[in-house]
Structure 1
Amino acid sequence: MPPSRTPGKEKQSTADREDIGSLNPAWLRTFIEVYRAGSFGKAAHRLHISQPAVTQQIRGLEQRAGVRLFVRHATGSEPTPAADLLARDAEGPVNALDSVLKRHFGVGDPRRPLRLGAPSDLISDRILPALADMLMDRIQLRTTLALSDTLLSQLVSGELDIAVVRTRPRLKGVSARPLHDEECSLVAAPGIARALAEDLLAHEAPRALDGHPLVAFAESLPLIDHYWWSVFHTSPSRTPEVVLPDHRAVLAAVRASVGITVVPAHLCADDIARGALVNLLEPAVPPIVTTYLAVREGDIAHPEVSEAHRKLLDHGRTWS
């Protein structure tokens, strides 16, 4: 004799199955945009829908999942641990589905540009030559020139597809691979170099450098600080006298005898070869800066992101 069933429980079970079947997969796309943007309003703008529609979809997803996904506050939306887990599992499939729809059905924005961020010297000297073939195939490119911390923040928020940075990314949802190792050089104009007696520079550096202004790429002295720790085993004792957010501008100032600086070796090689700059030290173990290629986990499913990622890795092996 079959066991008796409780009518109420059978009705509830059927309702649950119907509710699960009514889950709209498009809600996951909205969820990923909110997760990346950190804001319901920004996600609405990117999806070309209203903010109330975004709110309704996220609430629907939360009801289906039975957990809260975002905590909203005045400046945006903070993902909960449940949202972190869902994003980790959903981002790749959502991106892959977007690519399938675009490739086979023309769904999506076919003119959406590839958004890439990097330091200014890497964009011109390294990245554009590496992506030249893609650009000739009419792939659109938009670049952002900024410090590594800013670029990584924009990558996490979805404002960038790829970030080339000189800081090792340690962020949830971000995948990074070493792109290139490069030596750094401490340089000055010939007049300043002559003023720094070799014996004093060799035996009492960095004190011997204190009388000359520091010209830096950023207030935080990213390359200078790295050089000081690697060679002198201490941090710089002062803030920079001149800050110019472009390595070429930094080199122009140093050539004009404004002060001393640390730059990637490839940028100053020609100036050193023709005598416009002098490499002040040649450490037994030259300081090395590693450049990283960072993308959000799952974004590699986008064809343009995947191709650019591959080309940059291939070219990075040939950079000297």
Structure 2
Amino acid sequence: MLNPQWLRTFAHLVELGNFTRTAERLDLTQAAVSQHIRHLEEKLGPLLIRRPRKIDITPAGKALLDYCAELLQAEQRLQLKLDGADAAHGDVSLISPGSIGLAIYPLLLDLQQSTPGLVIRHRFAPDSEVLNSVLENRYELGIVSLKPDDPRLQSSLFSKEPLELVVPASAQVSQWQDLQRLGLIDHPDGRAMAGRLLSRQFPGNPGIQSLPVHGFSNQIGLILEPVARGLGFTVLPRYARKAFTRQHEIRVLECGTPVVDMLWLIHRAEWPLSARALRALDFLQDRIKSSI
């Protein structure tokens, strides 16, 4: 039987492509990493081709990497069999984009308060990180804005979320020049979201590039702070707007035909969800539907 520590070292080395970084991640010496690989190659033959700035994997190395992945999946399935049937104890792990995260995290805490045996583990992340985290079994559940086509993932519609044009409560906005006067409070997806939505309300507008930027924040919970202070407008998903505590200081403008994004729940397709994950989903979906 191959030493599990050797296999772990090999998998991390292939991922990182560097002996030094692998040693740092695993809290080993570089000599220990080299030794683990040498032991594996003595048993299995050449696994890696070492080049000055990168590492290539041989066919035998690819087969071993697949074997490592199969072992990880088997361990996950075993863990689910051991503790997945308990709906009242253990981790509920979910990773999601920021806007929907602002809506569901307080609800998950409500669930934890009513079921103290549960431990809520939630992370805010973009779609790409959500996909990787679920595929690598770091989180059991994920929410993404684009439905994946990976056969390893099962996806289902979780919710719908319109984009909203949000202005200061006292602002009068009826034409493009009013937005130019206010200025855009930008965020990582701000220009893309504004372009999609404002074309509905202001057809033929001179373009997002004509709007001055009066601020930027990458903290989704703070994007509406400058809007509330009258410093500009922004375009955000609805759940982010609803999470803002001072609703009386902002106003949502109707923009004709709504722009609605679909939010997809994802999890690994190869094994069933744990009982606690199913409990959390039932809890969330009932409350999200009633809040729309």
Bigger drift between 87-96 and 275-284 goes to 87-96
Please, which of 232, 239, 253 is the counterpart of residue 259 of structure 1? 232
Deviation at 1:182, TM superposition (A): 0.9
Rounded Cα–Cα distance in structure 2 between residues aligned with 1:85 and 1:289: 40
Confirm whether residue 289 of structure 1 aligns to residue 265 of structure 2.
Answer: no
Rounded Cα–Cα distance in structure 1 between residues aligned with 2:244 and 2:102: 18
Query: 2:72 is aligned with what amino acid?
Result: V
Please, which of 191, 202, 224 is the counterpart of residue 194 of structure 2? 224
Query: 1:130 is aligned with what amino acid?
Result: L
Kept in 1, the 8 Å contact 2:103–2:243? The answer is no
Deviation at 1:184, TM superposition (A): 1.4
Confirm whether residue 249 of structure 1 aligns to residue 222 of structure 2.
Answer: yes
Partner of 2:73: 95
Confirm whether residue 236 of structure 1 aligns to residue 205 of structure 2.
Answer: no
Aligned pairs for 1:295-306 (under 5 A) are none
Partner of 2:85: none
Rounded Cα–Cα distance in structure 2 between residues aligned with 1:173 and 1:314: 25
Rounded Cα–Cα distance in structure 2 between residues aligned with 1:279 and 1:241: 19
Deviation at 1:186, TM superposition (A): 0.8
Kept in 2, the 8 Å contact 1:99–1:302? The answer is no
Kept in 1, the 8 Å contact 2:198–2:255? The answer is no
Larger-gyration structure (1/2): 1
CA displacement, residues 38-93 of structure 1 (integer Å, 9 cap, x when unaligned) = 6555555665654444444345546666564576765x867678767765664244
Higher strand share: 2
Deviation at 1:129, TM superposition (A): 1.9
Aligned pairs for 1:194-233 (under 5 A) are 194=172, 196-197=173-174, 201=175, 209-218=179-188, 221-228=191-198
Confirm whether residue 184 of structure 1 aligns to residue 163 of structure 2.
Answer: yes
Kept in 1, the 8 Å contact 2:102–2:243? The answer is no
Kept in 2, the 8 Å contact 1:224–1:261? The answer is yes
Kept in 1, the 8 Å contact 2:100–2:240? The answer is no
Structural RMSD (CA): 5.0
Deviation at 1:222, TM superposition (A): 4.8
The alignment's TM-score, normalised by the length of structure 2, stands at 0.64
Change (3 A) 1:119 1:210: same
Unaligned stretches of 5+ in structure 1?
A: 1-21, 105-111
The alignment's TM-score, normalised by the length of structure 1, stands at 0.60
Kept in 2, the 8 Å contact 1:71–1:80? The answer is no
Bigger drift between 46-55 and 153-162 goes to 153-162
Confirm whether residue 311 of structure 1 aligns to residue 280 of structure 2.
Answer: yes
Confirm whether residue 268 of structure 1 aligns to residue 241 of structure 2.
Answer: yes
Bigger drift between 258-267 and 65-74 goes to 65-74
Bigger drift between 84-93 and 207-216 goes to 84-93
Unaligned stretches of 5+ in structure 2?
A: 83-89
